[in-house]
Structure 1
């Protein structure tokens, strides 16, 4: 399960990420709650903040992938993490001094979005350089495990700490946590990285990456599925705050607890993914089943009548979510050549996160117009339907091996009947 940790460079990266990710999640909870407070519990304002944070991904992620293929990824990650730390420091100082306004948060969300757009393709493609091709799946899963462990610890700390000391100190804590990642990156041995051939600066490299993906029907289908599920289904960062505050009437600690329960499921799923990563490569069938399960569980979760029941339902939802995301990430990384990995990951990040400028305001609008549960109902239905559609496309194009084409579809439709039956029983 922990095979990648035998590599010293990856151990340094892993250790820094443990600390930094906790700080990141503390900031995410604090940022959402700060926007909620400054706007008078307005779900549309929360959606705008999400959109501003992810608009740069649409604008920059493709070029960020090209940049990741051209430059030293380790040095690029050091620069990006330093910039993210400065952003958190500025927001924290504005908050603790009591001068923060909603427009400050909006501007800094956009600034954070710029550096995040550069960060994800560089960091994701750097994983392969640290551990080598054979350990990519395991390393991706371990990254997810610490990310989701932080999703348990960070929101739990933030939810209670916000009620004691306010949101500003969460931003300052995140600024300090970036030092752990930077230190780990600086202590690495560059000579022991598994670097691919250098990609010299040339015209048409972005188009070359797009053509590469366009010529691979398997990659296109996976990315289309990722777009629909991430844009409409995985909207928890916005919708959980709305459900906590507007549906169940809780405070920051209630929102933090919901985030923690979701993270219990994602953490468990990422550990199992790490175990699968040691045994073999990811499979398309698992991706399709995870996507459909995510949609079906999210749809059912929307109808949970109490805060406790809703929170418990988030655990299997988190499990299905991280299984889907880990499998998609590993499938893309293991399917591409090293010299194209940065550009392909840039495209992947675009479809994964680029829909958030649509999804964030959409979730806020739906919650305002149809109630706080509506994003779960609509997002779950779209995710499940997208999984079924992509399964049919892959079978017709031969993107799934004959060994499990029909078995995968049978599993999907069987899950669909079970979910429908479960929803019918709840309605009765």
Structure 2
């Protein structure tokens, strides 16, 4: 209940025990702890798979542009079929979808390992596998993200998302470091094999989750137009729309690590696969720090997302101009920190803004734009690296990222101004527009103040 709904000022007894906001901790949930371990293992294995594929393509072709094509093929399927993956997440048991996706990933990794060990591996094999992995991710990503909320409930979603991101980055530290060593000592085939084993372990962990421990959201019955319904839900909330657009732009213009780091390792510093692994690990260490910083935000707002995006763009440009390997490593850590502050605040804001009944579809718009932008950015960065060199190419994309952040900041300022103007002219009775979803007070009770379920008729996101 808000003060408007309770003009007498008396505190209703159900709201009196305010400490319920911070307790119980999401870490008391057995299912959430299992999901965290699965995230750590899966993140480490996936980084090994990606690094092995990236380096193998570079080894077979000697071309950064070819690596860019591989990155694009990993993520473009998310743009094409991602929204339907969100529909599946809203319709079906999220655990079963994650299990199926991880099983498919294990089969792909085994196939790549067999081709590599026999010497039959070709670039087109890696391209086909990358496209298939993109299809798997289109199912896995929205299901896994919604599953976080089902393990802890909405009241503890923000610390849960931060913890998941932290474990994902821990995997990003472990995976590249181990992969660089494995590739250097034994070859890419063993990196693919390790990923297959890890994927099987993830399936086993998800299988042990108990239904009675979950905060299950009602499944949405199949019907026509559910993808359009998710798109309409986002379009009716301009601030949500602009945050998702910004994620796509930053994915295209900033998240280009595989192309950039392979080029720096091979052409600039001449450090080989060991250096490539080191650069990924340093970036992941910085990202871990970024997750910790983002978790301390008392209130996640659109302004926080924009500031983090601007910091991301600036540190990217400075990293491109680093005069020495040591300076480059320092800047990589800063880029990693800015990246994860941006990604954590954006993901938390999107998840807490979306109603549970459409959360899978909203995330299936957010994630494909972010990772699909990453795919397009891989192509762009690969081409720029080939034509201009890795340093100049990175400066160009960093400048574009800063310009995009500025444009979105201006758009959000206009939305805020128009929203304030609309609400002041519409009197005290503020009603949501047609098509919006009214929060269920039973689900909202006890929700952290860090990211409240907003009912702003112009956006649904707390003021920037």
The question of a shared fold, defined as TM-score above 0.5 by the shorter chain, is answered with yes
Q: Of the candidates 208, 211, 232, which is equivalent to residue 190 of structure 1?
A: 211
SS state of the match for residue 216, structure 2? coil
**2:330 alignment partner, one of 312, 336, 348:** 312
Q: How does 1:77-156 map to 2 (within 5 A)?
A: 77-156=98-177
Q: C-alpha distance in 1, partners of 2:166/2:215?
A: 23
Partners of 2:251 and 2:372 within 8 A in 1 = no
Pairwise CA RMSD:
1.7
Alignment partner, residue 213 of structure 1: 234
Match of 1:349 among 367, 379, 400: 367
Q: Distance in 2 between matches of 1:357 and 1:399?
A: 34
Give the TM-score taking structure 1 as reference length.
0.90
2:43 aligned partner: 21
CA distance in 2, matches of 1:281, 1:181: 32
Greater Cα radius of gyration, structure 1 or 2: 2
SS at 2:300 equivalent: coil
Give a deviation string over 1:55-74, Cα, whole Å, max 9, x none: 21111101101111001111
1:249 equivalent to 2:270? Answer: yes
Question: Which residue of the partner structure matches residue 52 of structure 2?
Answer: 30
4+ residue runs of structure 1 moved beyond 3 angstroms? 399-402
Deviation at 1:245, TM superposition (A): 0.9
Name the SS of the counterpart of 2:305 in structure 1.
Answer: helix
Q: In structure 2, what is the equivalent of residue 4 of structure 1?
A: 26
TM-score for both structures, normalised by structure 2: 0.83
Distance 1:220 1:18 in 2: 30
Unaligned runs of 5+ in 2: 1-21, 421-464
In structure 1, distance between residues paired with 2:182 and 2:376: 31
Give the alignment partner of residue 401 of structure 2, picking from 376, 383, 387. 383
2:37 match: secondary structure:
helix
The answer to whether the 8 A contact 2:250-2:373 is kept is no
Structure 1 counterpart of 2:293: 272
Aligned length: 398
Contact 1:234 1:379 in 2 (8 A): no
Contact 2:239-2:302 within 8 A present in 1 as well: no
Superposition deviation, residue 237 in structure 1? 2.2
Write the deviation string for residues 12-56 of structure 1: whole angstroms up to 9, x where unpaired.
1111222222111111111110010011x2111111111111121
Residues 1:189 and 1:97: Cα distance change in structure 2 (over 3 Å): same
For 2:181, the equivalent position in structure 1 comes to: 160
Cα displacement (A) at 1:179: 2.0
Higher share of residues assigned helix: 1
For residues 208 and 343 of structure 2, the distance between their equivalents in structure 1, rounded to whole angstroms, comes to 29
Distance 1:399 1:164, change over 3 A: farther
